Amino acid sequence: MNTAILNTPLGLVMNNDIQQNFPEILNASAMDFIIALHEKFNHKRLSLLQQRVMSADLKTNQLKDNLDQLDWEVNNIPEELLNASSSLKLSATAIDKYDASSSNVKQLIVRLEGKSYEENCQEHQAIFNFIRSTEVASAIYFEPRHIATEEADLNIHELNASATLYDFGLYFFNNAYELINLGKTPCFSISGISTSEDAKWWNDVFVFAQSYLGLPSGTLKVQVDLGAVLAIKNINAILFELKNHLAQISFSVRTYLESHVQIHFQSSKMTMPNLDQLSVSSPFLTDVLDLIIHKSHGIGIPCIVDTRISKERKMSFQPDLKYLLERGFDGTFINDQHEVLAINNLMLDKLNQLDNKRFDVSPASVDLVRTPTGTITEIGVNQCLNAFRKNIGGSLDSMVTDQSLEGLILKQWINHECKTVSGKTIDFNYCLAIR
């Protein structure tokens, strides 16, 4: 790789051609900021990743103390962030094709999907241009890559750069003041938080970044994804650590199911049934969904839900959404702008449902180790296997390392030699025989 040391503090090594192709965003001041973030926070990030040991033995009595009532509220939420009825996840590669003038989507969640460092820079440049050239009524949330992801083509002090710190730093440094001048709030959508230590790390990053840029603490706002089982277990402590920057809570049904299988993978009593037997109204999920509403509205912030269980939109989108809005959620993630009308009709043009505090929810009774009920059928195995092959695009050999919901469930069924209702044992050979 053709690399060169840039004219920034000692220790940054990157591809010189790439830097020259993106002078607006990869300017020396921005790279100084990214190095400062790494020097202050990367060691702790690596330490947090080492501490991540998923427990397969969560007990109900371990959860009750963590799920008690919260006795504080979030203040000073910008008005534009109080309406979260429709959130569109938008790839930065497609952002230049987004028609903001005809859209009534309330929130854009912009994410990166590039496979290389150069593609990543192209996406950051596209976001930079979009903010400066398009009049957008929607709130804009930027989603950095996961805390565990590293940027192999960018070295800082002889270590791969943290993709999370790089994405956050480049976006915030280049766009924070531009957004503020446009009357918008710099917002981030953060996933991968499981513990209070994770949340504190992020909060420390936010405080440092705002101080570095001369902005008051609390200027930037966060939508925190609490879809994982361990995040729900630690929800009170996570929300407390982030309270000065909180704007919204998001919850993905699919993410919750993935984390449930990961945690309980070794338990033959916690195997999943067919995916088509799980819905948002399943008792297995309703306790957790109600808890999210209770917690978020209790501290005065909206909560949004991604109802998708499979990666493809289910035909039950509208009834599922109707059910969840009736329970108190403030909005959902959509696949395209055409779904906004359905949401508006269901919300009856309400800004949000923060007045629905769900006082009927008893946090101490929420059971995060509840066994999902249902059966495994041959059709269910076929559907799961076909979805796995479509998502991965490879052979069954890739199942070993795959962490998708379908791959995890198939591995769990095979690991415990689960049987279909017709008596067939699910093993590797059985899956190979399915075409």
CA dihedral 122, 163, 83, 368 (to 10 degrees): 140
Kindly state whether residue 71 falls inside one of the protein's structural domains: yes
Q: Bridge-partner residues for 151, per DSSP?
A: 161
**Of 156, 220, 210, the residue nearest 190 (C-alpha):** 220
Q: What is the distance between the alpha carbons of residues 197 and 184, in angstroms, rounded to a whole number?
A: 29
Helix (H) or strand (E) holding 332: strand 331-334
| pLDDT of the chain, 435 residues: tens digit per residue | 444 444 444 566 665 566 678 889 998 899 999 999 999 999 999 999 988 754 444 444 444 445 566 789 998 899 999 999 999 999 999 998 888 877 789 999 999 998 888 899 999 999 999 999 888 889 999 999 999 999 988 888 888 999 999 999 999 999 999 999 999 999 999 999 999 999 999 999 999 999 999 999 999 999 999 999 889 989 999 999 999 999 999 999 999 999 888 888 878 788 899 988 888 888 889 999 999 999 999 999 999 999 887 766 454 667 888 899 999 999 999 877 778 878 888 887 788 999 999 999 988 777 777 778 899 999 999 988 888 877 666 566 666 677 788 888 999 999 999 999 999 999 888 888 876
Q: Is residue 358 domain-shared with residue 393, that is, in the same domain?
A: no
What phi and psi, each to the nearest 5 degrees, are found at residue 397? -60, -30
- Boundaries of domain holding 428: 378-432
The total domain count for the chain is: 2
* 285 and 428 part of one domain: no
Do 327 and 395 fall within a single domain? no
**CATH code, domain carrying 24:** 3.20.20.360
Asked whether residue 371 is assigned to any structural domain, the reply reads no
Find tokens 């020259």 and name the residue. 20
Q: Do residues 216 and 292 share a domain?
A: yes
Residue 401 CB burial class (10 angstroms; 0-12, 13-18, ≥19): exposed
- The helix, strand and coil proportions of the chain, stated in percent and rounded to the nearest 5, come to 50, 15, 40
Residue 372 lies in a domain: no
Query: Cα separations (Å) of 182 from 44, 133, 214?
Result: 34, 11, 18
426 and 287 both lie in a single domain:
no
Give ∠ CA 129-134-136 in degrees, rounded to 5.
125
Look at residue 393 and tell me if it is in a domain. yes
Residue 92 has what DSSP assignment?
G
Residue count of the chain = 435
Q: Does residue 138 form part of some domain?
A: yes
* Closest alpha carbon to 90 in 47, 57, 136: 136
Residues 14 and 38 occupy one common structural domain: yes
Q: Are residues 344 and 426 in the same domain?
A: no
Query: Which residues are 421's β-sheet partners?
Result: none
